[in-house]
Amino acid sequence: MNKLRTLLTITLVLLLFLSKAENGYNLWLRYTKVENQVLLKTYQDATLNIVILDNSETSMVIKNELYLGLRSLLSTEPEIANTINDQTSLIIATLNSLPENIKANITIEDKTLGDEGYFIFTNQSENKKSIIITGNNDKGLLYGTFKFLSYLQQNQSIEDINFTSIPKIKHRLLNHWDNLDRTVERGYAGFSIFDWHKLPDYVDPRYVDYARANASIGINGTVVTNVNSNALILTPQYIKKLVTLANTFRPYGIKVYLTARFSAPVEIGGLKTADPTNNEVQNWWNNKAKEIYKLIPDFGGFLVKANSEGQPGPQDYKRTHAEGANMLADAVAPFGGIVMWRAFVYSHEAPDDRAKQAYSEFKPLDGKFRANVIIQVKNGAIDFQPREPFHPLFGATPKTPLMMEFQITQEYTGCATHLFYQAPLYKEVLNADTYAKGQGSTVAKIIDGSLHNNNISGIAGVANIGNDINWTGHPFAQANWYAFGRLAWNHELTAEEIAEEWLKMTFTNDKDFINAAKQIMINSRENLVNYMTPLGLHHIMARNHHYGPGPWVDGGRADWTSLYYHQANDDGIGFNRSSTGSNAISQYFPEVQDLYKNIKTCPENSLLWFHHVSWDKKLASGNSLWDKLCYKYYEGVDSVISAQKQWNKLEKYIDKERFDHVSSLLKIQVNEALWWRYACVLYFQQFSKQPIPKELEKPKFSLEHYKNIEHRFVPGIKNE
């Protein structure tokens, strides 16, 4: 407790120092002075009496957060006590701890709130109003406290509050693709924040700020190691280091998880096999689980990438994914742990369409996994593309719970150089109707467990966090971390609502700024799709680092080339996944098949995902496919230029540091959008043999010029 108190004190001092410079470090927890004059008049000249009735490490976190937040927001010194009196204006307590006279005014039942839900309401008692934040335990109180502070941050009235919030998904995690040497695979914001070299003795105050940020948006778990895992993380030396992180995160309601390298029994255990049916292997994992849980009783469990992209797995021993997952699940089950087994499996040796392979692998295993196994499925069947149809596995395994895996980091979407607000992408997938049990069987209802009555539910986001001062590289990339957390808690929120919240807390409450900046954010996803991969094109990025266009990429394993996916030739372009092609469309339910199977009815934004279309084909717009493709590439660039002009008008509303930072990155984005446009149009023109529509500006350089643009040492990959 004393160590935590010291660490919190250091963190508060650091925050106060950093708040003087608008460098983005404080994220959406800036706590700048409230501009609502009614709120200020109510509290500025009065003593804000707060009572926290519960006594735990989390209660101390709540106390410190309130002190930091209210002192800055309301310019008043809050008094925090543990006894209610006539002057008390804010009471934070579990339902069981509340006085009977207050509890009598509560209509919501404790079983409704669950372990993490909270209820904020205004209590009227003998002409005295007080605000109550309550829940079943201190986690709910913590989430409720952050929500209360967000009201003030957004200049919203706190008079007569009556607000209940319960998370729709149980396990809401960040997946860090961080390596033990502090490099981050697909990381574009510096090195890992986890300094394994200095752990366990040095606790970086940034760990607390990381936990604060996650708790404020409801994230309750973190996988701190890369899915391409290193068995060393399971050694005693590193488990002791993990204990420090677990102890730091626990008061914020965050559990730690590890990636488990399937071959660890061989690599660090001295066994000759990692076969999941082998008794010695099973005992090794059982003992490893006991070792971890003895030191970290609330350890969350394991995330596993197996038999994919060279990673070891049960298929090395002719065992199924279910046999491998169940072995690990049995090891952590006595302690309440779970296993998240990734469905991102494919092989270049398989003759079938890569988009079909995960479904083909896991659909037959439905119902064969232990109750504490959840299959982690990427939002689309290929790999975090700017747009993909939802993964066909969603809805296909009613007896096996599935969790979503979104990518927050921008591997294929500009590597944190481009402004790309991902909430519209997330919402497009979450709202997609699978028709698994008829109309209304959305992906969201599958992953929250409600459609198939699953007892376990989860969602993961591949983190975009690094040790850059602003955490995410691009100031607007913070919004993707924020949006993921908010949708993980409540997938019914809209992208617009989330953008507005984030802008108010991160920049300013000025309506003119909010309206303009929100529009830039909402449009950014479609803009990027248009100048990178319009009409359903996908995976045409440069090889390896995926930064910039590479529709010409060929050679090596086919499914890592662009030609495999766009299949451009003299006849047309696109991957035929209809019944006359790979028939990947058959993996969807009939209603979805009916939408996509016919070129005439297939939505244009997915046309080339499912069909090989002739260059002269007339689309619904009246344009030929070739002309439409050109128009989309040009529209994408023009929209980014428009966003840049909109941003330049907002300088007067915010601090110079962040305005200039975003302005500089938008210049890069405009130039690179032009690069994408001309490289792709010129490349595909070789096959269409048609002119670029005459009203469109012609490229200044040849295709060879664009093919020779080469980026070296792009962050996030192993560079030679």
Q: Which residues participate in catalysis according to the annotation?
A: 309, 383, 411
Q: Of 381, 413, 408, 383, which is closest to residue 636 (Cα–Cα)?
A: 413
Distance of CA 442 to the CA centre of its chain: 19
The amino acid at 317: Y
Q: For the residues of 487-534, what is the DSSP string, one character each?
A: HHH-TTS-HHHHHHHHHHHHT---HHHHHHHHHHHHHHHHHHHHHHSG
Counting every residue written for the chain, the total comes to 720
| Residue 32 DSSP code | P
Scored b (16 or more CB within 10 A) or e, 246-263 reads bbbbbbbbbbbbbbbbbb
Scored b (16 or more CB within 10 A) or e, 414-435 reads bbbbbbbbbbbbbbbbbebbbb
Return d(Cα 157, Cα 160) in angstroms, integer: 8
- Cβ distance 403 to 431 under 8 Å? no
Bridge partners, 462 (sequence order): 175, 407
Q: What is the largest CA-CA distance in the chain?
A: 82
- Cβ distance 178 to 226 under 8 Å? yes
Q: Exposed, middle or buried by CB within 10 Å (0-12, 13-18, 19+), for 557?
A: exposed
- Using alpha carbons only, how large is the chain's radius of gyration in Å? 26
Bridge partners, 165 (sequence order): 118
Distance of CA 219 to the CA centre of its chain: 10
Query: What are the structure tokens assigned to 262, written together?
Result: 């399937």
Q: Exposed, middle or buried by CB within 10 Å (0-12, 13-18, 19+), for 237?
A: exposed
For 141, the enclosing helix (H) or strand (E) is helix 138-153
Q: For the residues of 549-567, what is the DSSP string, one character each?
A: B-TT--SSSGGGSHHHHH-
- Cβ distance 527 to 640 under 8 Å? yes
Residues 6+ apart with CB under 8 A from 287: none
Q: Of 554, 541, 555, 551, which is closest to residue 717 (Cα–Cα)?
A: 541
Query: What are the structure tokens assigned to 477, written together?
Result: 């990339």
Q: 486: helix, coil or strand?
A: helix
Q: Of 719, 189, 641, 662, which is closest to residue 411 (Cα–Cα)?
A: 189
Place of tokens 């929209």: 639
Place of tokens 């997330």: 426
Distance of CA 710 to the CA centre of its chain: 29
Return d(Cα 283, Cα 286) in angstroms, integer: 5
Residues 6+ apart with CB under 8 A from 192: 176, 178, 179, 182, 183, 184, 466, 467
The amino acid at 482: Y
- Cβ distance 273 to 281 under 8 Å? yes
Query: What are the structure tokens assigned to 120, written together?
Result: 């904020």
Beta strands in 66-209 (DSSP E): 79-81, 90-92, 118-125, 128-135, 162-165, 171-175
